[in-house]
């Protein structure tokens, strides 16, 4: 990152021993332990890969008209990356509707 090389966090789907969800949250916490700020970690797993994969800007932002899957958490993940472990609501946006699931 210091050299200006794009850094993206994410899953390696289909790799044995890699579990989506909790495994990714652990990976993000490790990046913070290595010295990235929580905001850098969040950008590396949201807006930066979205801008790389979709340069037209159709994803990676919370704006009207854009598709958005949202993870709402208790706490401020820009200050404490472990807030990602305290999931309050997950919203998945499809072509015609948005479905939200509250976590008990």
Token pair, residue 83, equals 């807030």
pLDDT at position 71, please? Answer: 84
- Could you give the CA distance from residue 28 to residue 34 in angstroms, rounded to a whole number? 10
Let me know: does 70 contact 61? Beta carbons within 8 Å.
no
Q: Among the listed ranges 5-9, 19-23, 25-29, 82-86, which one has the minimum average pLDDT value?
A: 19-23
Task: Read off the pTM.
Answer: 0.77
Question: pLDDT band for position 55 (50/70/90)?
Answer: confident
């Amino acid at each position: 990152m210091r050299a200006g090389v794009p850094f993206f966090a994410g899953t390696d789907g289909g790799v044995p021993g890699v579990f989506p969800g909790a495994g990714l949250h652990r990976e993000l916490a490790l990046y913070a332990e290595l010295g990235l700020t929580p905001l850098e970690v969040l950008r590396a797993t949201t807006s930066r890969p979205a801008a790389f994969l979709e340069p037209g800007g159709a994803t990676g932002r919370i704006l009207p008209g854009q598709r958005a899957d949202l993870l709402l958490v208790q706490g401020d993940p820009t200050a404490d990356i472990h807030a990602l472990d305290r999931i309050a609501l997950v919203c998945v946006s499809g072509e015609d509707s948005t479905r939200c699931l509250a976590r008990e």
